[in-house]
Structure formats: C-alpha cells, structure tokens
A = this chain, B = another copy of it.
C-alpha cells in the first residue's frame, strides 16, 4: 500500500535494527484518514472471505480494526491484555511471549463475543515474531470459530512471524513489508508484481 509506505518512509523512526517507531501516526498518535485507507484496503483484500467478525488486540490494533469493521460491516472485538472489572466470567485466553519485553502475558476475549459460526479476520498493527497473532488464532479456535485471514499493517519480514503464520496455512496480508531496518534505514521488501 503506497500511501502507508510513504508515511513510514517520511514519519517512521528507526530506533535499532529491530525497532521501528511509528508513534506519530499508528502507535500513540493516530492518523484517522490513514486508518480509514488502511481499513478500506483490508476490506478490499478480504471481502470475498465472508468475514463475520474482526478480532484485534489492544491498543494499537483498535484503530485499523475498527475502520476495517466499518468497511466490512462487521463488529470488532479487541483482546484485553489485562483484567477489567466488567470482563470477568467465561474468558478465552492465550499466553503470549514478548521477545522485546522478555515477558509472558495473558490475552483474553470474552467467550460471549465469538461463536462457532464466526469467520474471523484478525487485524494487528505489527507482525514481528507472530506471538500475538498466534495467541489470537488460539483464542478463535478455542471458540470453534474459523480464522479466515490475518491483516497486518506493518510486517517486519526479517523476523520469523510471517513464516510461522504461513506454516499454519493461514492467509496473511501485510500492507507494508519491511525487509530490513539496518543502517538506520527502512528498506521495503521488493514484491513480485509491485
């Protein structure tokens, strides 16, 4: 998605060979127009899959997921990373290991918002090691629902997540694929046909 790649090139900051800071339009400050374009792109890519629900994870996944939900006409559920007062009973959970923080955490979705008839599109802001996405896949499968695809805003293609999700046989669409952050520079993956 050219508009997104331009935004990354102009406003992203490479903090290290592994960390890209996009706090000015995605992760802390959000560009709503860009999120609408991202949502439209996901809707266009997954429209034929018969999506009935979108699942994402708080907090940075919410904006792109809600825009995709608006364009596909389906509800969005965000997995919680911590307990909430009014979200106690009947939780589907998964354990997610963060390589950056080196901590294990639990993500949770209320079982009442996923049914075995759901065809679920997973949306997330980043794909790095794939741990968060795999946790969401596990939760959706616990509900007996079907994962019909994963939409990622920014994929760090030099990490293992994409390959791990491909190995699960799940369709993954990433709107920007980054081949490298070496030398303080964002290098996008050259894709066939692009």
Q: Which residues of B contact A70 (CB under 8 A)?
A: 32-33, 35-36
Stretch of A23-31, A151-159, A173-181, A185-193 at the chain-chain interface: A23-31
Stretch of A78-86, A129-137, A142-150 at the chain-chain interface: A78-86
A25 and B69 alpha carbons, distance in the complex (Å): 12
Stretch of A2-10, A56-64, A160-168 at the chain-chain interface: A56-64
Contact between B66 and A30, CB atoms less than 8 A apart: yes
Contact between B32 and A66, CB atoms less than 8 A apart: yes
CB-defined interface of A69-94 with B at 8 Å, one 1/0 digit per residue?
11001111110100011110000000
Copies of this polypeptide in the complex: 2
Contact between B113 and A28, CB atoms less than 8 A apart: yes
Contact residue among B28, B33, B80, B101 (Cβ-Cβ distance under 8 Å from A110):
B28
Chain A residues near B (Cβ < 8 Å): 15, 19, 21, 23-25, 27-33, 35-36, 58-59, 62-63, 66-67, 69-70, 73-78, 80, 84-87, 100-101, 109-110, 112-113
